[in-house]
Amino acid sequence: MSAEQTNTPLIDAQGLHTYYGESHILHGVDLTLMPGETLSLLGRNGMGKTTTLKSILGFVPPRHGEVFIKGVSAAKRRPWQLIRQGIGYVPEGRGIFPGISVREHLIMAARPNDRGESPWTLERVLDTFPRLGQRINHDGSFLSGGEQQMLSIGRALTTNPDLMILDEATEGLAPLIRDEIWKIIGEIKATGISTIIVDKNIDNLLKVAEKHLLLVKGEVVYSGDSQGLKDNPAILETHLGVA
């Protein structure tokens, strides 16, 4: 039974304290994401956004606190086991492998859709990202930065996820490519896939995400909706320098 059918959170992270060695990075982070929701992680560089994602996915397990994915504890489970529960991960840096073609990237992690919905097949991904179709046999590492990000998103979609996690979704991309990526993120949201996004474009995050978590030095200083941030601009100005 799916999380949506039982009204169980897709992600329920409770009191996460995560360390790198003896460096205490996350200080009691709570995060809940329901089916169909989009959540942004906000914060300046080095405030714990990527560590939060890695704690959820098991790459850097929290020392204290617990993560539940679809109601099941993620403790002692490997990242690949968690991702197989229906998570599409687009990592910071894109994770494109040299010597592997665009086609191979898109089929290497593909999984069937068992939820009775229109599946994200190779053909559907190429329809969504026509640039990838034009470079289908090219080495993925030779693509432009924007094309590599499209490839990373497309690869995640072929796993037919319930949840997409995008770390630095448009970082370092040309303005036109950024606009294209945000359009695609909106289309993904419209299909009902839940999403957690890290990015620096506050305007687009406020448009696409219903919920926001603002981190400062590994602590949550704001958890709420877009209207709450719009009504309290001092929050963004103080912690992100956004007027």
Return the closest-CA partner of residue 152 out of 129, 172, 130: 129
Q: What 3-state class would DSSP assign to 226?
A: helix
Q: What is the pLDDT of residues 43-101, one digit of tens each?
A: 999 999 999 999 999 999 999 999 999 999 998 889 888 888 899 999 998 899 999 99
Average pLDDT over residues 167-186: 93
Using the predicted structure, report yes or no on whether residue 1 has a pLDDT greater than 50: no
Torsion of Cα atoms, 154 then 86 then 30 then 4, to 10° = 110
Q: What is each CA distance from 142 to 67, 69, 98, 135, in whole angstroms?
A: 37, 35, 8, 10
- pLDDT for res 81: 87
- pLDDT, mean over the chain: 92
Nearest to 185 by CA among 197, 176, 201, 173: 197
Residue with tokens 């497309």: 154
11 strand-pairing partners: 33, 69
Dist. CA 162–CA 79, nearest whole Å: 16
Percent of all residues in the chain with a pLDDT value above 70, rounded to a whole number: 95
Q: In the prediction, which pLDDT does 23 show?
A: 97
Q: Is the pTM of the predicted complex or chain greater than 0.85?
A: yes
Return the structure tokens found at 14. Answer: 């409770």
Q: Which two tokens stand for residue 82?
A: 């968690």
Mean pLDDT along residues 226-234: 92
Domains of the chain: 37-48+84-240 (3.40.50.300)
In this predicted structure, what is the pLDDT of residue 3? Answer: 52
Identify the band that residue 6 occupies on the pLDDT scale cut at 50, 70 and 90.
Answer: low
Q: For residues 114-130, give the mean pLDDT.
A: 87
Question: What gap in Å lies between CA 196 and CA 70, rounded to an integer?
Answer: 15
Q: List the alpha helices (DSSP H) in the chain.
A: 3-6, 49-57, 79-83, 102-108, 122-128, 130-134, 145-157, 175-190, 202-208, 226-231, 233-240
The one-character DSSP state at 140 is: G
For the residues 11-28, what does the mean pLDDT come to? 97
